[in-house]
Amino acid sequence: MDRYQHFVTNGFHFKPEEPEYWHTYLINNILLILMPVFLFLIILNVFVHKLYAIALIDLIAIVIAVFLLRYFHHTNHVRKTSLLSVVFYTSLLVVYILISGPNNYSFAWILIFPAISYFLLGRDAGRLVTGLSLVLLILSFTLFLPLWSSADFSFISLVNLLFAALCVTILISFSELSRAKAYDFIRLKNEELMRLSHTDALTGISNRLKLDEVMLKELARVRRGTPHFSVIMGDLDLFKRFNDNFGHLAGDQILIEIAASIVPICRLTDTVGRWGGEEFLIICPETSCEGAMILAEKVRKAVESLPLHRYGSVTISLGVTCSRLDDDINTIIQRADKALYLAKSAGRNQVRSMQSTNHQLSLDEEAIELFNN
């Protein structure tokens, strides 16, 4: 199986997630199948029917199929090989029909041509090549029509019809499979791009775009009657001095470790993100200000106790606020930022809250005391 996959993917040159993978798969399979088929026809025409001229045509077809396979595996040119394969099939079809004439319903094999052309060459080129080829076939057959006599329906006629219909069914199924796989690949890529667009590249937590989206959703939920949510804004203390002493690479590593320490503390429903620089934001759905302050204190202690080895210790100041009905993103962020300023002004490494723009509330000592106990 591995050897087969190696062959039909041109030595794994084409991957399943690539759009040309299924074209490669089909080209290799068509050419592979044609070779034993024509080898069987050579044996039949030489030893049974004594049709040596037709056996020679079958041999030429095998040689061309081998050449196309070698060319394709050497160059990996999907479009050129697709076009050559369509020309090859068209030539075989014309020769077969001209030799067979109206006997045994040989015209049934024309039905395969549009399916192969559209799949290998694409919609526009497939439509053009199919149209031109069918016109040429009709003109050619018209010239030979006076020379052909009517033929009865035979067992070989039934074989031609059944196998032509089977080949068309297989090609359509293969085309649908490749379309479905391509759709799944595009969907997964879109999901990955969406995830990346919402993820901070350094820390792996939510970025500002994602935080904005979550806050908009939570504000809308509050207006529909859902309990209020809280926002925690944290800023590392004197982090510029840390960067100056140890360098920005060390600073980046600390941000990564701090983000990793915050996430396990929060609930699955909470959104932890990097607001910018050394600022972090936590959105807590259906959470009172008191509950958010308890969480903020957990975060503060986790950061303070984070083992940073030779870098010493890092602390964080946090501001907490709860949403109001008339809030938008700017107003709730402004309150959280002012609460953070209070924590910084009080000596850093503290938690402060603000409930409104006109009234400042300090740390809820009772809530934190309950937490400590």
Cβ contact 234:299 at 8 Å: yes
Annotated active-site residue 17? The verdict is no
Residue tagged 């199919």 (tokens): 130
Q: List the catalytic residue out of 278, 279, 286, 366.
A: 278
d(CA 289, CA 273): 19
Supply 60's token pair. 């030429």
d(CA 352, CA 232): 10
Element (H, E) at 221: helix 208-223
Cβ contact 189:254 at 8 Å: no
d(CA 236, CA 349): 8
DSSP assignment of 299-324, as one string? HHHHHHT---GGG----EEEEEEE--
Element (H, E) at 93: helix 78-100
Cβ contact 222:328 at 8 Å: no
List residues with catalytic annotation.
278
